[in-house]
Chains A and B, each alone.
Chain A
Amino acid sequence: MLSIERIIYVYIFVCLSVIVFNIGHVFITEYQNRKYENTKRWIQKILPNELNQTGGLLNKLISKMASIDFLNTFVDVLMDVEIEKRETYIKQIAPSILSLSGQYKNKKEVIQACFAFNLSRIHMGDYMNDELLEMLMRLLSSEDPYSRQNALLVFYRCHNPEYIIKAYIILNNMNIYHYDKLIIDGTLSFLGDKTMLGYGLLNLYLDLNEEFKLIVINVLKGIDYPFYDEVNDIYYLTQNMEIQIAILRYFARWKYPPFEQVFYNLLSNTQQNWELRAVSASCLRSYPNRVNQALLKMTIQDSNWYVRYNSAESLAAISKGVTEEQFDDPYASDIMKYMKQKEQLQRGDF
């Protein structure tokens, strides 16, 4: 029994140490906050002269930036400067900042990722050198999603599509989970020529795994340029239903008359997979004409809930004259009535 008592004493001692650590941490955080504010004030004071190239403190600033806390504060202050002045200044100091890569590449990964995050904020990807690229590619291959994401941010916020394409190849080969929506929306925030990026991704398409193929289709959908023929060809090549659905949605966003028949055929064929039919019903609202309206009036009475629901939604959107009274089928009538009410709610004139 005595040994239990001793074990409990040890536990109590460790817990007391944790309490002391926690209380100590409160004071350390307070000290760090004050330090941050002081540093911020100092940078705010000297920065106007630096922006005008009359300060002469660049070397001092760069040497201080070897500390991640200072770099964080410096970039925070810089982000408050008006955009044109900031960009001109960054252009001037870019080589000096890039020289920090050599120091940061030997630090802990969490600090390297923070360094990458700061570089992304000031668009340093446009001034990429080999050392930085090597570090970013290493972060991209990390097991840690935060490191990967911060490396990707540098690539998204620059003008060279090659880096993103390289990043896709690495992530694809790693076969690791990186949330697809993060990649899609990140890629769409790319600052360079997105059409060129789109073609770059299309060239890569066949070498990618199914998850990345799906990502590429969704990226293409978001680019303000129609890749009609290329995406159309992919539709007929793929057997993957998720990719097929993504392509259906692509042609709902990018109206392409030759593809209209695909929607029609899918929706009118009751033997088809219900998901493809339901998505087709939804997409047909992008192709408003009598033939499609007639089909939607039929499929609003479909046995599948989702086909019925999406048909009603499309019908309400494209044919203002259609009312619930026109349907004998009670399900069709109910759902049409609801869609009309929902539209009124959205317009705010219920």
Chain B
Amino acid sequence: MENIKLFLTIVEIFFAIYLLTYSTFLFLSVAYGTSELYEKNILKKMHNELKHDYYVPVSIITPAYNEELTVVDTVSSLLACDYKLMEVVVVDDGSTDQTASVLIEYFNLQKIDRPLHKKIVCKPEKAIYQNYVGKKLVTLIMKENGGKADSLNMGINASLYPYFICIDADSVLQKDALEKIIQPVIYEKNVIASGGLIKISNGVTFKNGQVSTYRLPKNILAALQVMEYDRSFLAARIFLDSFNANLIISGAFGLFKKDIVIQVGGYDPNTMGEDMELVVKLHSYAKTSKIDYVIKYEPDAICWTQAPTKLKDLFKQRKRWHIGLIQTMGKYKNLIRDVDQNPYSIFSFLYFLFYEMLSPIIEVGGIAVIIFSYYVDLIYIDYMILLFIIYLLFGAILTLTTFYSRIYTQKIRLSVWDCIKAVFLCLIESLVFHQFILVARLSAFFSFKRSQKTWGNISRQKHDIEEEEADE
């Protein structure tokens, strides 16, 4: 019995430290993120901005696999952006639906014989189509199926400009998103990448590249993801950004300096989390090569993406993301040894290791210990329940804080019903949704070795886009 007591004491201390560190991190992140957004808002109001008509030229790369429903809307949203120097490169990764033909027809693309300078290895192209829409060049590359990373590499090879932006084919950019995502490059020297804010588009109506109506989605699963995304993109990212320690730029919307991405060999087609892998690889490469670099997060650059509305799709998506995380953490474990080079990104690496990658195992371990303690009658039930309620409340309040911060800084109007709904969603998110995600993440540990580099496509709907008003 003494041994059991000792074991439980050690476990108790471990969990006390684990939870307190996590709570403190989240708390600091939310507090810091909120104050940063407030400051940014003041600066904007006071015209303290670096506005410029002619921005850095960018190539926008959109990898697509069976995206016939959304790809035209996505490309149209890109072309509608207030940005002059840009081209769009869509890479059709051997789709089995009409992805290519809807694009060819809609944008009147013409087949051309364009030689490509392949600096990064990728599967061969089958055909290339191009046309100018206004003054902007749209290129469609049809290639053999090789996965998302391979398609992005093809896009990099075909791109003309020194910076490229990757954007998912099911996403819609806000009209000023390109102008905003390039801001870090204008503001600071040595920016090699910058990530935008991803928001859930379910329930949102767009007009002229702007949100015309904002409603929390009717589908509860999508609505829960709205809360989750707001917390994740406000909290950790802004905080880690201040230390140049962000390890993720979402694959849905990110800007990269092309030459350095080519130097590191582009996206790794052998991982399921190619977006995180590239960012960690850039950190690692820049440190070992002693290059001054900055990887930024720009919360005003907004990309709207569709959230899965079915449990099965969400489960698949999260499992896939977690497999990508495990693969990347495994591949770059050496980063931890280079603590002298950038202690902050080591802190970030440890955060991802303990609070993201290993969290399903630790949390399930915690539940097992509770059951065991109950079995050996060494648990204070009342105290356990109290602690659980406090944690639930804390999580819900954090989520609600970030949700409201987002609403006012982005000038979104919410109905009273949605305000009330948000309170309930935060509670459900902490109580039920989190546990569901935990199971999805846990399942990743059992299948990451036999994972295949396939597209994690989920069922899509068309974006809700109202017809544009004619220019006066």
Counting CB contacts under 8 A, is B290 at the interface? no
Q: Which residues of chain A are within 8 angstroms of B117 by Cβ–Cβ distance?
A: 305, 309
Question: How far apart are the CA atoms of A337 and B114 in the complex, in Å?
Answer: 8
A271 to chain B, nearest CB (A): 22
- Shortest CB–CB separation between residue A44 and chain B, in angstroms? 21
Task: Scan residues 300-328 of chain B and give those whose CB is less than 8 A from a CB of chain A.
Answer: none
- Interface readout for A327-345 with B: 1 if CB under 8 Å, 0 if not? 0000100110110011001
Q: Which of the residues A12, A113, A337 comes within 8 Å of B48, measured between beta carbons?
A: A113
Question: A121 to chain B: closest CB distance in Å?
Answer: 9
Q: Is B375 an interface residue (CB 8 A)?
A: no
Q: Does A150 contact B (CB under 8 A)?
A: yes
Pick from B16-24, B258-266, B361-369, B457-465 the stretch touching chain A: B16-24
Does B394 touch A at the CB level, under 8 Å?
yes
Question: Chain A, 1-13, contact with B by CB distance < 8 Å: what is the 0/1 string?
Answer: 1001101110110
Verify B54–A181 contact, CB threshold 8 A: yes
A345 touches B132 (CB 8 A): yes
Measured between alpha carbons, how far is A16 from B396 in the docked complex, in Å?
Answer: 11
In the complex, what residues of A have CB within 8 A of residue B27's CB? 11, 14-15
Would you call B47 and A117 a contact (CB within 8 A)? yes
A25 touches B50 (CB 8 A): no
| A338-B113, A341-B112 as given contacts; A5 in contact with B387, CB under 8 Å | yes
Binds A, one of B195-203, B247-255, B398-406, B448-456: B398-406
B186 contact set on A, CB distance < 8 A: 179, 181-182
User: Given the known A-B contacts A147-B48, A345-B130, are A29 and B113 also in contact in the complex, defined by CB atoms under 8 Å?
Assistant: no
Give the docked Cα–Cα distance between A22 and B49 (Å): 23
Cβ of A350: which chain B residues have Cβ within 8 Å of it?
110, 131
- B126 CB within 8 Å of chain A: no
> Given the complex of chains A and B, what is the CA–CA distance between A113 and B44 in angstroms?
12
A37 contacts B by Cβ under 8 Å: no
Is B391's CB within 8 Å of the partner chain A? yes
Tell me, yes or no, whether B337 is within 8 Å of chain A by CB: no
Answer whether residue B127 sits at the interface, using C-beta atoms and an 8 A cutoff: no
Closest to A113 in B: B48
Tell me whether B30 and A19 are in contact (CB under 8 A). Answer: no
CB pair B16–A4 under 8 Å, yes or no, is: yes
Verify A18–B394 contact, CB threshold 8 A: no
Contact A179–B50 (Cβ < 8 Å):
yes
Judging by beta carbons under 8 Å apart, are B48 and A22 in contact? Answer: no
The A-B contact count (CB < 8 A) is 129
Contacting residues, chain B, for A11 (C-beta < 8 A): 23-24, 27, 394
Contacting pair B48 A150 (CB below 8 A): yes
Chain B nearest CB: distance from A68 CB in Å? 7
Q: When A14-B27, A26-B407, A149-B50 are in contact, do A110 and B43 touch as well, CB less than 8 Å?
A: yes
| CB pair A114 B397 closer than 8 Å | no
Q: How far is the CA of A111 from the CA of B45 in the complex (A)?
A: 10
Kindly state whether residue B188 has any CB partner on chain A within 8 Å.
Answer: yes
Task: Tell whether B53 is near chain A: CB-to-CB under 8 Å.
Answer: yes
Known A4-B20, A8-B23, A338-B115; judge A110-B397 contact (CB<8 A).
no
Interface range, B side: 35 or more
Q: A12-B397, A22-B34, A181-B54 are in contact. List 4 more A-B contacts (CB 8 A).
A: A18-B405, A72-B47, A145-B187, A177-B188
Q: B46 near A: Cβ within 8 Å?
A: yes
CB distance from B55 to the nearest CB of A (A): 8
| CB pair B19 A150 closer than 8 Å | no
Q: How far is the CA of A25 from the CA of B110 in the complex (A)?
A: 52
Q: Which of B220-279 contact A (CB under 8 A)?
A: none
With beta carbons under 8 angstroms apart, the residue of B48, B54, B383 that contacts A110 is B48
Task: Verify A68–B50 contact, CB threshold 8 A.
Answer: no
* Shortest Cβ distance from residue B88 to the other chain A in the assembled complex, whole angstroms: 14
Chain B interface, >50% SS class: helix
User: How many of chain A's residues touch chain B, expressed as a range?
Assistant: 35 or more
21 A–B contacts from the bound complex (CB under 8 Å)? A1-B16, A5-B386, A7-B24, A8-B23, A8-B394, A9-B390, A11-B24, A11-B27, A12-B394, A22-B34, A22-B401, A22-B405, A68-B46, A110-B46, A117-B47, A185-B53, A334-B113, A342-B114, A345-B110, A345-B131, A350-B131
Known: A8-B390, A14-B31, A179-B186. A114 touches B113 (CB 8 A): no
Which residue of chain A is the closest to B26 with respect to CB atoms?
A: A11
CB interface residues, A 153-191, toward B, < 8 Å: 177, 179, 181-182, 185
Interface string of A65-83 (1 = CB under 8 A from B): 0001000100000000000
Nearest Cβ distance between residue A79 and chain B, in whole angstroms? Answer: 13
> Shortest distance in angstroms between A83's beta carbon and chain B's nearest beta carbon?
20
Is A22's CB under 8 angstroms from B404's CB? yes
- Would you call A89 an interface residue if the criterion is a C-beta within 8 Å of the partner chain's C-beta atoms? no
Question: Is the beta-carbon distance between B52 and A181 smaller than 8 angstroms?
Answer: yes
Tell me whether B393 is interfacial, beta carbon within 8 Å. Answer: yes
The answer for the CA separation of A337 and B43 in the assembled complex, in Å, is 51
Is A54 an interface residue when CB atoms closer than 8 A count as contact?
Answer: no
Q: Which A residues are CB-close (under 8 A) to B34?
A: 18, 22
Known: A4-B20, A5-B387. A18 touches B401 (CB 8 A): yes
Given contacts A4-B16, A25-B408, contact A150 B132 (CB under 8 A): no
Query: In the bound complex, how far is the Cα of B115 from the Cα of A146, in angstroms?
Result: 43
Q: Is A23 in contact with chain B by the CB < 8 A criterion? A: yes
Contact A181-B56, Cβ < 8 Å, known A22-B405, A334-B115: yes
How would residues 82 to 119 of chain B score, 1 for a CB under 8 Å from any chain A CB and 0 otherwise? Answer: 00000000000000000000000000001011110100
Is B42 engaged at the interface, CB distance under 8 Å to the other chain? Answer: yes
A113 to B47, CA, bound (A): 8
B31 cross-chain contacts in A, Cβ below 8 A? 14-15, 18
Does B30 lie within 8 Å of A15, measured CB to CB? yes
Nearest CB on B from A7, distance (A): 7
Inter-chain contacts of B56 with A (CB < 8 A): 181
The CA of A144 and the CA of B49, in the complex, are separated in Å by: 11
B189 interfacial by beta-carbon distance below 8 Å: yes
Q: B53 — which chain A residues lie within 8 A by C-beta? A: 185
Q: Are A19 and B397 in contact (CB under 8 A)?
A: yes
Report the minimal beta-carbon distance from A262 to chain B, rounded to whole angstroms.
25
Shortest distance from the beta carbon of A343 to any chain B beta carbon, whole Å: 11
Complex Cα distance, B19 from A76, in Å, reads 51
4 nearest interchain CB pairs?
Answer: A146-B48, A177-B189, A114-B46, A22-B404
Q: Are the CB atoms of A29 and B48 closer together than 8 Å?
A: no
| Contact A338 B48, beta carbon cutoff 8 Å | no
* Contact residues of A between 224 and 266, Cβ < 8 Å to B: none
Tell me, rounded to whole Å, the shortest Cβ–Cβ distance linking A210 to chain B. Answer: 14
CB neighbors of B among A280-328 (8 A): 305, 309
Query: In the complex the two chains form, what is the Cα distance from A305 to B188 in whole Å?
Result: 32
A20 to chain B, nearest CB (A): 10
Contacts of A177 on B, CB cut-off 8 Å?
188-189
Which B residues are CB-close (under 8 A) to A12? 390, 393-394, 397
Say whether B112 contacts A338, CB under 8 Å: yes
In the bound assembly, the distance between CA atoms of A331 and B114 in angstroms comes to: 11
Q: Report the bound CA distance from A288 to B34 in whole Å.
A: 59
Question: Do the beta carbons of B50 and A16 come within 8 Å of each other?
Answer: no
Give which listed residue, A9, A19, A185, A341, contacts B52 with CB less than 8 A.
Answer: A185
Q: Residues of B contacting A9 with CB < 8 Å?
A: 390
Q: Is the CB of B112 within 8 A of A345?
A: yes
